[in-house]
Chain A
């Protein structure tokens, strides 16, 4: 959110920072980003546990994609809305909060939702930095039972159910956002 607003900001340095952040994160694989945080940071003296690394990595990564979705949502709002707001005396912060963002939300929900679905599935990557999550748990059980097909399929089903629930939730949100149409 902050990145999206910065990228649209008139302040050059903010815009530059946001651009760099978004370009770098989108241009590199999540797996490498996670490795840098978990294995790389300790080398320069920042020791961070697997769970915190995972949260940090996934947040930074998703943030960059969501920022782009938010930005395009904001840009999709008709210029006339800003002018009407300005003519009525709203400050630019008020205009953003009361008029632009609520309308941008509607166009933002599908791409942001998409990103969250990706996030659920990408969370399987954090098993590589020793965090015990769903995929890792499956691997552990497999190592004692030697039943990879059953267990990986079970894991897949669980991911699928979580994603399905998230999709349902998003559909409800989308419907709510469309009451004004």
Chain B
């Protein structure tokens, strides 16, 4: 077991009532690695992300963050950033306030510093001119970039992306993927659930294929997309192409 391992998931199971959506997941993510999770809807990929930062309680198994059981430590949420399909920006706060709110109240940092950092983050995601507008005035792509900046403001060690482009107009997908790609190049550890196969091919260090609550196949993007082994993955790739 390498010390590089930042997330380790062991035999994770999760049921909603009678239905088991995660049927024993084993997965680890190393520091700096970009893991892209693909698979049909309802295959459990989003649920897995939600379990990792404790938005969803799980039935059995365990998840370790830096060798610590996530159920035993409070730090997890501060250090793991999450970006949602529906952005979930705070509607009553301006773009800038959306970004500074958590650093000020959760990390208890000085407002002036957080504002300065927020402006830098907005520049990084390419929308510094929108700092003082409310989320209702933003396009989907802009909203999602603000959501990414908001998560980054907590200086997370890992970023989780839950279908970050699924709610966007096709023309706006590119601007969000561009930001995620940039983060990947900077060495951010990321777990991305997505339906964008082009993106997975280009950015992923490892692609994980989920089907029906289990990991069916994982490997380098070339292996997964050019030489799929399992029948289920072959079927899935045929269906989406």
Contacting residues, chain A, for B81 (C-beta < 8 A) = 87
Number of A-B residue pairs having CB atoms within 8 Å of each other in the complex: 63
Which residue of chain A is the closest to B105 with respect to CB atoms? A94
Q: Assuming A89-B102, A89-B106, A90-B105, is B136 touching A83 (CB within 8 A)?
A: no
Is residue B165 contacting chain A, with contact meaning CB distance below 8 A? no
Is residue B13 contacting chain A, with contact meaning CB distance below 8 A? no
Chain A 146-181 near chain B by CB (<8 Å), digits 1 or 0: 000000000000000000000000000000000111
The residue in A80, A87, A180 that gathers the most chain B C-beta atoms within 10 A of its C-beta is: A87
Contacting residues, chain A, for B93 (C-beta < 8 A) = 180
Question: In the docked arrangement, what's the CA distance between A90 and B101, Å?
Answer: 10
Q: Is the CB of B90 within 8 A of A89?
A: no
**Partner among A87, A99, A179 whose Cβ is within 8 Å of the Cβ of B55:** A87
**Partner among A81, A106, A181 whose Cβ is within 8 Å of the Cβ of B90:** A81
Question: In the docked arrangement, what's the CA distance between A86 and B50, Å?
Answer: 11
Contacting residues, chain A, for B55 (C-beta < 8 A) = 83, 86-87
CB distance from A91 to the nearest CB of B (A): 8
CB distance from A136 to the nearest CB of B (A): 44
Q: Is the CB of A88 within 8 A of B136?
A: no
Q: Is the CB of B82 within 8 A of A103?
A: no
* Range, interface on chain B: 20 to 34
Contacting residues, chain A, for B101 (C-beta < 8 A) = 88, 98
Contacting residues, chain A, for B77 (C-beta < 8 A) = 86-89
Q: Assuming A89-B77, A89-B78, A181-B136, is B105 touching A84 (CB within 8 A)?
A: no
**Partner among A84, A98, A103 whose Cβ is within 8 Å of the Cβ of B84:** A84
CB distance from A74 to the nearest CB of B (A): 14
Question: In the docked arrangement, what's the CA distance between A96 and B154, Å?
Answer: 20
Chain B 69-108 near chain A by CB (<8 Å), digits 1 or 0: 0000000011011101010111111000000011001100
Q: Is the CB of B92 within 8 A of A88?
A: no
Chain A 64-104 near chain B by CB (<8 Å), digits 1 or 0: 00000000000000101101111111100010001100110
Q: Is the CB of A80 within 8 A of B102?
A: no
Partner-A contacts on B (CB < 8 A): 53-55, 77-78, 80-82, 84, 86, 88-93, 101-102, 105-106, 134-136, 147, 150-151, 154
